[in-house]
Amino acid sequence: MFGISVYDGMFGPGQATMLMYTFLRNGATYLQSLAFTRFQTFISCTAAFITYFLAGNIAWDIAIYYTIGSLIGSQLAVRVAQKISTRQLKFILHAVTIALLLQLILRIAFP
């Protein structure tokens, strides 16, 4: 968990996927994994907000849009996840992970 948090602080992308796999591998259900991941991301973002706020580096116009979008997205994810079977959710998680890996490989191979 500490390593994933450090990665999140340095790079960000992929952090939620790594957390989902970590929770699923340790026996949590898909919905529990989703909830734990959203909570950890919330804590991480709150800490980043406080740090940037204290440093005076907040672009409020952008921060407001990101906050609203994040709240809407997380609510949609939780509501949709409750209506889809665990098997389908795992398939989606794996498919998105593979797509992101392919995108990364293509960006590295063809800059």
Task: List, in sequence order, the alpha helices (H) in 1-111.
Answer: 2-10, 15-25, 30-55, 60-81, 86-109
Listed in sequence order, the residues at least 6 apart from 32 whose beta carbon sits closer than 8 Å to its beta carbon are 23
- Residue 27: what pLDDT? 92
What does residue 108 show for φ and ψ, rounded to 5 degrees? -75, -40
Contact assessment for residue 81 and residue 31, using Cβ atoms and an 8 Å cutoff: yes
d(CA 98, CA 95): 5
pTM of the shown model: 0.63
What are the boundaries of each domain within the chain?
Answer: 2-109
For range 54-78, the mean pLDDT: 81
- The mean pLDDT value for 28-45 works out to 85
